[in-house]
Amino acid sequence: MKTILEIISYSFFAGITVFIGGILSRILEKFKNHKTHKLITHFAIAFGGGILIAAVGFVLIPKGIEELTLLPLILCFVGGVLFFSFIDSKIKQKGGSFAQMMAMLMDFVPEAIALGGVFAHNLKLGLLLAIYIGLQNLPESFNSYIELKHYNHSTKASLYILFFLSFSGIIAALTGYFLLMNKPDIIAGLMVFSGGGIVFLMFQDIAPLAKIKNTLLPAMGASLGFLVGIIGEKLLG
C-alpha cells in the first residue's frame, strides 16, 4: 500500500505541472500587448520543442533500442509516425491543430507508465523520473494552453482541459505498476511509438511555430530545452 501511495504522490507531482504550465501561460496572456510577449511565447515553444527532442533522443528511443529487436523497433516507430500523421491531418481538415498537446501527452504518458513500471525496483530512479517528467510538462503545457486558446477554446475550458490531463499521469503510472511492471518490451514499444509521433509532430507543426524573424531567441530556447534533457539523462543515468 505504501508503494502505491508513493506512486500516486510522485505521479501527481509530475502531472500537476501540466496545470501549472497552463496557469503560467494564462498569466502571461494578460500581457499579450506588451512587445516582449511574442518573444517569450516563441521562446517557450522552442524550449518545449528542445525538451521533446531530448525526450525522444535520451528516453523514448533508447529504451526501445535496449529492449526490442530491429523489426519491432521499426514497426513501432513507423506506426507512431503514421498514426499521428493521420490524426493530425484529420484535425486539420476540421480547421484545427493540437500538435503541442498531443506531443505533450505522447511524452508524458509513456514516461509515467515507465515511472510506475520501475518504481518497485528502483525508488531513487522513480523519484528522479518524476522530477524530470514534471519539469518537461511545464513548457509543454504552457504551449498547449496557447494552442487551445488559438483554436477558440475559452480560458476556463483550456484550463479545465489541462487540469484533467494533469491526472493522466497517475492513471498511467498505476497502469505501469500493476500491468506492465514485468513487461519491459511493451513499455519500450509504447515509448518508441510515441517517439515516432513526436518526431513527426515536431517537424510538421511545432518547429515552424517557434521561428521568428530577426532574433536568435527561439533557437537558444530549443538549445536550452535540449540541455535540460541532457541534465535529466545524466541524473537518471
**Interval 161-216: pLDDT, tens:** 999 999 999 999 998 888 887 888 888 888 899 888 888 888 877 777 677 777 88
Amino acid at position 67, single letter? E
Euclidean distance between CA atoms 59 and 42, whole angstroms: 25
Cell of 41: 511565447
Euclidean distance between CA atoms 216 and 97, whole angstroms: 26
Euclidean distance between CA atoms 109 and 63, whole angstroms: 15
For 8, counting Cβ atoms within 10 Å of its Cβ (0-12 exposed, 13-18 middle, 19+ buried), the class is middle
pLDDT at 216: 81
- Most confident by average pLDDT, 163-167, 191-195, 221-225, 226-230: 163-167
Q: What would the pLDDT profile of 106-139 be if each residue is shown by its tens digit?
A: 778 888 888 887 776 667 777 777 887 888 888 8
Q: Please determine, for residue 159, whether its predicted confidence score (pLDDT) is greater than 90.
A: yes
What is the full DSSP assignment across 119-149?
A: HTT-HHHHHHHHHHHHHHHHHHHHHHHHHHH
Instruction: Please report which confidence band the pLDDT of residue 97 belongs to, taking 50, 70 and 90 as the band edges.
Output: low
- Domain edges within the chain: 2-236
pLDDT at 47: 84
Amino acid at position 236, single letter? L
pLDDT at 121: 67
Q: What would the pLDDT profile of 38-96 be if each residue is shown by its tens digit?
A: 788 888 888 888 888 888 888 888 888 988 999 999 999 999 899 888 888 877 776 66
pLDDT at 233: 76
Euclidean distance between CA atoms 237 and 12, whole angstroms: 23
Euclidean distance between CA atoms 226 and 235, whole angstroms: 14
Do 234 and 58 form a contact (C-beta atoms < 8 A)?
no
- What's the Cα-to-Cα distance from 184 to each of 25, 95, 218, 222, rounded to whole Å? 36, 39, 36, 31
pLDDT at 127: 76
Q: Please determine, for residue 99, whether its predicted confidence score (pLDDT) is greater than 80.
A: no
pLDDT at 163: 94
Mean pLDDT of 142-169: 88
